[in-house]
Amino acid sequence: MAIEFVVDPPLTPQLRAEIITLWVEVTNAGGAVGFVAPVSRTQVTPVAEAAFAGVESGVDHLLTGYDDGELVALLFVVSNRFDLKDHWQVLKRVMVTPKRQGRGYGAALMREAEQVARGLGLEALQVTVRGGAGTEKFYERLGYTQVGRVPGALRVAPDDDRDEFLYWLPLGA
């Protein structure tokens, strides 16, 4: 595996376009990253732009992963924007390109996110998981513990409500 990580890369027009393309590809391959397939660039762009604004303001962080110069993975480390929760943050939009699944990039991305979080002085990370996506075991293998479940919180289609699972990782000293 030859993945190189970059924290808070400059959000150039090219990188923005690559992120949106990846987001669409991941969603349309069945990934649970805020949308339900099929999705288009038009739908993803406003959500992506809001995420980019959080990074550009310095409140949130973007972690990107590259293999041979190609964007293959990313996630956002998002502030709770609440003083009483400054000691932990949320990982959002955890994604790996579908054409490179199964190579360990997801686990490497999550391990790198832990290092980024420690560098930020955080004490814990939280990730939210869509029920039925099959990713619960992935996070559990990485040391995350399910600490909550909201039944039917996510409506992915009429008559198709999914549970939302909350996973937690204390970062320790």
Count of CB atoms situated within 10 Å of the CB of 158: 6
Share of the chain above pLDDT 70, in %: 99
pTM score: 0.96
Q: ω into residue 38 within 30 of 0, thus cis? A: yes
* Phi, psi of 93, rounded to the nearest 5 degrees: 60, 45
pLDDT over 90 (residue 173): no
What pLDDT, on the 0 to 100 scale, is given for residue 172? 82
**Cα separation, 24 vs 44, whole angstroms:** 7
Domain annotation for the chain: domains and CATH numbers: 4-122 (3.40.630.30)
Paired sense of beta strands 61-67 and 4-7, if any:
antiparallel
pLDDT, averaged across the chain: 96
Of 130, 135, 84, nearest to 110 by C-alpha is 135
Q: What does 50-117 look like in DSSP terms, one character per residue?
A: HHHHHHHTTSSEEEEEEETTEEEEEEEEE----GGGTTEEEEEEEEE-GGGTTSSHHHHHHHHHHHHH
N- to C-terminal Cα separation, the chain:
29
